[in-house]
Amino acid sequence: MTHNAIDVKRREFLGTSALAVSAITLGLPAMTLSPPATAADYRNNPFTLVYGDAITANVPGAVNIHPVTYQLNGLDIVANVYTPANFDPSKKYPAVVVAHPNGGVKEQTAGLYAQRLAEQGYIAIAADAAYQGGSGGLPRSVDTPTNRIEDIHGMADFITSYAGVDAGRLGLLGICGGGGYSLAAATTDKRFRAVATLSMFNSGRVRRNGYVDSQLASVQQRLQQASDARARQRAGGKILYSGDADMTDAQIAALPFDLYRQGYEYYWRTHAHPGSTFRYTTSSLLDLMRWDATDQISLIEQPLLMMAGSKADSLYMTEEAFAKASGAKDKELFKIEGATHIETYWVPKYVETAVAKLTPFYAKNL
């Protein structure tokens, strides 16, 4: 399948279509697309991994990848478990659960960070969210906080019983939307001894208020649309979806926010994967718009590391959550100098900076 075929198959974009406002609408100048990233082609990788330097074969003595399937609330969940070099299942290793971004899959940035953590001696797991990617669940692309948080608990259930894992040394890393859901999971799940986020995205706040709070005037209108979509769905009608946007490169270049502009490049050009989509059922907004990643965040008492790019236009969400995490015994906000939101997903120097921060954080607290 070509990348053009992927575009035709999905034609979906980050967030709701309403969020994909043009620069003209906001009176901002058009911007050009940044140079393409270097990544692996999922068609040329036996594990369909799309990130740079991805594992292509399991080699004795090296970091290896193990595709697994397990049950969560009656659904099949597909995941990849990464084990360290010279892994010995009779020994005990610390482990890290990695939660993927909204619309992402385990083969993209979540897999990249899981592999990097395995290189540092951790067993790491990255799973596709229920109703998304390769995991089970109908209708497809349901995207609710309850499900995403349960996904994280489910990864903890599975990995803590995996051969070689020391269940008492379990860490959590959430990326983008997975970061917001990781914060929520960690408020009550104390199996996680250390919690980290990267480019945290507060899905509830953005779905409710718009990105950078740009849609406050239309909250009630969008709630009505979500309510109507649920009613139609329950009556057996067509399932309605949000997140579709059939956009040309010129339209993408005109988007005012780095997150959306670079996100399109990442998900539909340079790191495309057929399982990855930002399409979600419109009825999901009933749950999303009443939720917030900072709800009860003061219950997090575990060590907390929150990382974000210094140039990310999403930085405000990390800063707000960090300030509200008043119960964390040891917390740090770390800005990755020069990075935007999406660049923390794949740009080697920014990934290495993040991993260099994560490694001593987990070493100290696990």
Give the count of beta carbons closer than 10 Å to the beta carbon of residue 84.
Answer: 21
Type of residue numbered 347: V
Q: CA angle at residue 351 from 14 to 60, to 5 degrees?
A: 110
Encode pLDDT of 139-152 as tens digits. 999 999 999 999 99
CA 203 to mean position of chain CA atoms = 11
Please count the CA atoms within 13 angstroms of the CA of 225 that sit on its side-chain side.
16
Token pair, residue 231, equals: 């009613």
Encode pLDDT of 6-20 as tens digits. 443 343 333 333 333
Rounded to the nearest 10 degrees, the angle between the axes of helix 348-365 and helix 109-119 is: 50
Residue 243 contacts residue 276 (beta carbons within 8 Å)? no
Identify the residue whose tokens are 């210094």: 310
Residue 276 contacts residue 133 (beta carbons within 8 Å)? yes
Determine the length of the chain.
366
Parallel, antiparallel, or unpaired for β 93-99 and 165-175?
parallel
Token pair, residue 250, equals: 């010129």
Parallel, antiparallel, or unpaired for β 123-127 and 165-175?
unpaired
d(CA 100, CA 295): 20
d(CA 71, CA 99): 17
d(CA 201, CA 278): 14
175: buried, middle or exposed (CB in 10 Å: 19+, 13-18, 0-12)? buried
Q: In b/e form, how buried is each residue of 344-358, taking b as 16+ CB within 10 angstroms? A: bbbbeebbebbeebb
Token pair, residue 331, equals: 């917390």
Encode pLDDT of 92-132 as tens digits. 999 999 999 999 999 999 999 999 999 999 999 999 999 99
Encode pLDDT of 197-244 as tens digits. 999 999 999 999 999 999 999 999 999 999 999 999 999 999 999 986
Residue 126 contacts residue 80 (beta carbons within 8 Å)? yes
Write the DSSP symbol of residue 50.
-
Parallel, antiparallel, or unpaired for β 165-175 and 331-336?
unpaired
- Predicted pLDDT of residue 249: 81
In terms of phi and psi (left: phi > 0; alpha: psi -120 to 50; beta: otherwise), the region of 199 is left
CA quadruple 290, 202, 281, 74: dihedral sign: negative
Average pLDDT, the chain: 90
Q: In b/e form, how buried is each residue of 9-38, taking b as 16+ CB within 10 angstroms? A: ebebbbbbeebbbebeeeeeeeeeeeeebe
Q: CA angle at residue 119 from 91 to 66, to 5 degrees?
A: 70
Q: Is 254's pLDDT higher than 70?
A: yes
The secondary structure of 71-110 as a DSSP string is: EETTEEEEEEEEE-TT--TTS-EEEEEEEPPTT--TTTHH
Q: Is 55's pLDDT higher than 60?
A: yes
Encode pLDDT of 142-196 as tens digits. 999 999 999 999 999 999 999 999 999 999 999 999 999 999 999 999 999 999 9
Distances (CA, A) of 297 to 181, 197, 322: 11, 13, 9
Residue 298 contacts residue 322 (beta carbons within 8 Å)? no
* Residue 147: closest CA among 198, 192, 184, 108: 184
The secondary structure of 30-79 as a DSSP string is: --PPPPPPP---GGGSTT---STT---S--TTS-EEEEEEEEETTEEEEE
Task: Catalogue all structural domains in the chain, each as residue range(s) with its CATH number.
Answer: 3-291+303-365 (3.40.50.1820)
Q: pTM to 2 decimals?
A: 0.90
